[in-house]
Amino acid sequence: MIEEPEIPFINAHAHHSFPEGVIGIRNYAQNESFQAMDKDLASYGLHPWFIRESKIEENIQKLKQLLDQDRLVAIGECGLDKICKTNLIVQQVVFGHQIRLAVEYSKPMLIHSVRTNNMIIQAYDKYRPAKPWILHGFNGNRQQIEELSERNFYFSLGGMLLKDKTKIRETICFIPSDRLLFETDNSNLPVTEIYKTASDLLNIPINELKKQIFNNFATCFSIDNLK
Ligand SMILES: [Zn+2]
């Protein structure tokens, strides 16, 4: 009898590499050096927190150079943040550069959004990208979930799911199952903990959830042969 191969856990967005049994996307911000020899799938982008106006041109050129690499499966994390120090107009300009590159090179985008979901939707409607946008660290309400899922957005859920009384614990059930992803972002939390909590909240056995998230990940990032 041939045993079915074990389906890996997926970590859609992390700032570190992954343990055995986990496949994920390792994120590099503009102030980190992209490790060309590393084998993990990767994303690279200009994060709103770290924008330095004198470096924008250089960072965008660096991003362009990396876009031909097979393991660079997404642009990001990038986006908008109303509570960070970087001027919002500057953030929008930098985000716009990255959106146009994502459209040109047909890459999904990993989005950082703090109190700017409406602006993100406006940008999406303006550019109508062919590839999905993933809202990372999502903790939104039901109405936002509906608006975003009418468009090709994915929802990547992380540590907020484990905290008491967060919005996302109430609203996870409204996220379409084929748009759901999990992540650990910059925490040391094992991604398996997110799976366990989501499995409880959604009342879906963990093996079923693993299959669903694996398929979502492959579809979202157009990855054909995940091992
Ligand atoms: Zn992050």
Ligand 1 center to residue 1 CA distance, Å?
42
Residues in the chain with pLDDT values less than 70? 1-2, 36-37, 227
pTM of the entire predicted model: 0.94
CA of 48 to the centre of ligand 1 (A): 11
C-alpha 185 to ligand 1 mean position (Å): 5
Predicted local distance difference test score (pLDDT) of residue 227: 57
Q: Can you tell me the distance from the alpha carbon of 219 to that of 221, in angstroms, rounded to the nearest whole number?
A: 6
Q: Cα(54) to centroid of ligand 1, in Å?
A: 23
Cα–Cα distance, 35 to 33 (Å, whole number)? 6
User: Which pLDDT score, from 0 to 100, does residue 4 have?
Assistant: 72
- Measured in Å, residue 93 CA sits from the centre of ligand 1 at 20
The residue among 127, 119, 167 whose CA lies nearest residue 147 is 119
pLDDT for 36: 63
Phi, psi of 29 (to 5 degrees): -90, 170
Q: Cα(13) to centroid of ligand 1, in Å?
A: 7
Distance 4 CA to ligand 1 centre (A): 33
What are the tens digits of pLDDT across the range 72-92?
999 999 999 999 999 999 999
Distance (Å) from CA 28 to ligand 1 centroid: 9
Nearest CA among 65, 55, 59 for reference residue 45: 59
Domains delineated in the chain? 9-220 (3.20.20.140)
Distance 170 CA to ligand 1 centre (A): 23
Q: What is the DSSP letter of 40?
A: S
